[in-house]
Amino acid sequence: MQILHERCCGLDVHKKSITACIITPEGKKIRTFGTMTADILELVDWIKQNKCSCVAMESTGVYWKPIYNLLEVEQIETLVVNARHIKAVPGRKTDVKDAEWIAELLQYGLLKGSYIPSREQRELQELIRYRRSLIDERSREVNRLQKILEGANIKLSSVATDILGKSGRKMLEQIINSDKPDPKIIAQSAKGKLRNKIPLLEKALHGLIGHHQKMILSVQLRHIDFLDQQIEELNLEIERRMRPFEDCLELLDTIPGVGRRIAEQIIAEIGVDMSRFPSSKHLASWAGIAPGNNESAGKRKSGRTTKGNKHLRSTLVEAARSASRTKNTYLSAQYRRLAARRGSNRACIAVAHTILTIVYHILKKKQPYQELGADYFEKRKESKIVNNLIRKLERLGYSISIKKKSA
């Protein structure tokens, strides 16, 4: 085989150590480094001293990130390789052998680097992923608050849609601050349409709440307020960083089920330059929502989806569930068609796959989404549907003659 990189380096990265193997025309050099910043800087200097043109390492958790960041600053070509693509020779399994094997594969050009976004996009990813985790934590805290209310036999959620709305929040504060909460007085805090349910609210607010439960509710409300404040700060920073992508956000917003926040998460994960993905199928496989291929001796085995970007996958599934509830759209028709035969979960994955395909073409062509309509699948098989219906009526004893209406 032809040598493509005369001077290259393979890294076997762990939490506390990095084993490096440099291959040059003079031979192999192997050293072990720590993972502190000073140790990684020493590793980078060693790579530069040996004039390595390329470095490769496995994508092990998050341990590759600090190494990649420092090599990126020095403008050294770095490949972060999927661990499944590096099959070590059986036997003699050591960190040194792993580093040697990675370096040898890199030397002959047998490794393909994973897609690593630019530094600006990686920063945006971290902001949006952290905002998502805070939103999830807020939802969990609201559920904990609801659990405390149920334990005190206060059925506020059975009457009010949002227990943390203006009316619900005021009622909760009165419950916490009152020595003996009076349901009739507290129910008068209802506003808007909720005032029509005051008699029902009085029954729902009648419970037995202890001092410790009031204390827990008070702490939970302060925690929710704190999370709201942090989420708002992140929103402002994300909005500032998203300004260059406003046109793309507006285009993605035309897809049913995809709102502003979903569009921000999609752009943060895949960017707006689709030239790095040869086709929409490559993008779907990278995201982990493409059906798997597993066939042997002509027998089709499990076609479950592959592993991929879990953050993008969960975002697309959320968008798919939202799209399934829209009216008179292609995506909702696709969901109902598949859910009837394969179940709701598989239907959601299929719709998520379709949404990602749409996103790929929208970002590539810079054109808005074109709705195909809820009757798209019926129009594709119009003659077959008509013939089936005629045969059913004829079996029931009817004589049918049909004529298509003019447009």
**CA separation for the pair 87, 48 (Å, rounded):** 28
For tokens 């920063």, what's the residue? Answer: 123
Q: Tell me which H or E stretch contains 32.
A: strand 27-33
Q: Report the chain (407 residues): mean pLDDT per 10 consecutive residues.
A: 88 92 92 94 94 90 91 92 74 80 89 88 95 96 94 89 90 89 88 89 89 94 96 96 94 94 95 91 90 69 78 94 94 94 92 96 94 86 84 86 74
What's residue 290's pLDDT? 83
Name residues whose C-beta falls within 8 Å of residue 41's C-beta, 6 or more positions apart in sequence.
70
Domain segments of the chain as ranges: 8-107, 120-243
Strands 54-58 and 8-13: parallel
Q: What is the CATH number of domain 8-107?
A: 3.30.420.40
Alpha-helical runs (H) found in 195-343: 198-204, 211-242, 246-252, 260-270, 280-287, 310-324, 330-342
Q: Tell me which H or E stretch contains 384.
A: helix 382-395
What's residue 91's pLDDT? 59
What's residue 297's pLDDT? 65
pTM of the full predicted structure?
0.84
Cβ atoms of 86 and 101 closer than 8 Å: yes
What's residue 217's pLDDT? 94
Alpha-helical runs (H) found in 36-118: 37-49, 64-73, 95-107
Domain 120-243 has CATH 1.10.287: yes
What's residue 385's pLDDT? 83
What's residue 374's pLDDT? 87
